[in-house]
């Protein structure tokens, strides 16, 4: 379902659970279960100076309002209205020629997008990026993304923590996995903000191809995603695993494929039709149910994947348990 020529549906009372990817929630549940994570979180929360962070943006970026980057401000308010976020975080534009955005903070998130994104994206694509970052903020990602940055900066100075340096590396690896999966959540929020899948895929194609779409075919880009997932042999599967270990975001073609799958399976259409979880019910959500939903996602993704390594593991599983019920 696309809405290129219509006003977007206002998703009144929508909970961030509507766009949160099960892999995001599953990675976060696993992260919170790590021994020592609560200690790191408490210690870092006391070290991070949110006031200083805001001063950094005030001093080195442009605060977006009705006087500065007025068009960006207008798009930001419209996106916040669609996602029913009555008090969106402060928005800044920072100097960076690349297409980028960031959401940081502890109690009061701050959103910042790059000057390159403002110059590179058309109005709808810009709304996708703004919706993406608002999705991070509404889903509570700012705290953990800030924690990730500070763990990277301060690892050498945190040896005094009871978890020790090895434990810190485990926590950092878990945070990296969660951060990659959190991008899938934010992509869904961006799509709900613009309500046009082609716009969302175009932005991901821009990220992959440097911004120029004049010679890019979106259908071919999505086909490329299939080739990335299922092409090659076991060596390619292992290389992809090693490559992802050092990435803060999943690769653009995989993000595009994940977003396309979400659209095709119908949940996106249901949300636009008014069938989505409400914020009023958030307090009644069971953590156990969230963990089960994440487990179902990973099981379905495992059964659906065309990756050569996953295919080998599936065949081994079927030999070991030939009568296993699905």
The pLDDT tens digits of the residues spanning 10-41 come to 999 999 999 998 878 776 666 666 556 656 66
Is the Cβ–Cβ distance between 111 and 134 less than 8 Å? yes
For residues 46 and 60, give the distance between their C-alpha atoms in angstroms, rounded to a whole number.
24
- pLDDT tens-digit map of 139-175: 888 877 777 776 666 555 554 455 445 555 666 666 6
Q: What is the pLDDT of residue 295?
A: 60
The yes-or-no verdict on residue 120 having pLDDT over 70 is yes
Report domain extents, the chain. Answer: 16-320
CB burial readout 70-99, b (16+ within 10 A) else e: eebbebbebbbbbbebeebbbbbbbebeeb
* Better-predicted residue by pLDDT, 131 or 210: 131
* Better-predicted residue by pLDDT, 84 or 321: 84
Q: What is the pLDDT of residue 152?
A: 64
**Range name among 3-12, 149-158, 205-214, 220-229 with the lowest pLDDT average:** 149-158
The yes-or-no verdict on residue 310 having pLDDT over 50 is no
List CB contacts of 232: < 8 A, sequence separation 6 or more. Answer: 308
Q: What is the pLDDT of residue 238?
A: 60
Q: What is the pLDDT of residue 169?
A: 61
Q: What is the pLDDT of residue 127?
A: 98
* Better-predicted residue by pLDDT, 322 or 230: 230
The yes-or-no verdict on residue 250 having pLDDT over 80 is no
* 197: confidence class by pLDDT, cuts 50, 70, 90: very high
């Amino acid at each position: 379902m696309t809405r290129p020529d219509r006003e977007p549906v206002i998703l009144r009372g929508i909970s961030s659970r509507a766009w949160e990817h099960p892999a995001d929630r599953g990675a976060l549940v696993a992260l919170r279960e790590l021994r020592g994570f609560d200690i790191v979180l408490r210690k870092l929360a006391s070290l991070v100076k949110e006031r200083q962070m805001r001063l950094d943006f005030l001093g080195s970026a442009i605060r977006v309002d009705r006087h500065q980057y007025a068009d960006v401000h207008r798009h930001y308010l419209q996106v916040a209205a669609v996602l029913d976020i009555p008090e969106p975080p402060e928005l800044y534009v920072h100097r960076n020629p690349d297409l980028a955005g960031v959401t940081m903070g502890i109690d009061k998130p701050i959103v910042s997008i790059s000057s390159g994104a403002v110059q590179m994206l058309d109005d709808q694509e810009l709304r996708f990026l703004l919706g993406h970052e608002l999705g991070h903020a509404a889903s509570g990602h700012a705290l953990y993304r800030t924690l990730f940055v500070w763990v990277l900066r301060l690892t050498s100075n945190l040896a005094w923590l009871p978890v020790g340096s090895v434990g810190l590396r485990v926590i950092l690896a878990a945070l990296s996995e969660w951060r990659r999966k959190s991008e899938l959540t934010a992509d869904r929020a961006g799509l709900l903000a613009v309500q046009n899948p082609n716009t969302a895929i175009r932005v991901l194609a821009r990220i992959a191809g440097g911004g120029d779409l004049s010679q890019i075919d979106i259908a071919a880009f999505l086909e490329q995603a299939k080739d990335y997932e299922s092409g090659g042999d076991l060596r390619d599967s292992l290389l992809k695993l090693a490559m992802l270990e050092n990435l803060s975001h999943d690769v653009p073609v995989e993000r595009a494929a994940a977003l396309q799958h979400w659209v095709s399976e119908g949940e996106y259409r249901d949300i636009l039709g008014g069938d989505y979880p409400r914020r009023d019910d958030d307090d009644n959500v069971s953590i156990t149910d969230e963990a089960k939903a994440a487990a179902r996602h990973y099981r379905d993704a495992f059964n659906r994947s065309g990756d050569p390594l996953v295919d080998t593991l599936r065949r081994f599983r079927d030999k070991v348990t030939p009568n296993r019920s699905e």
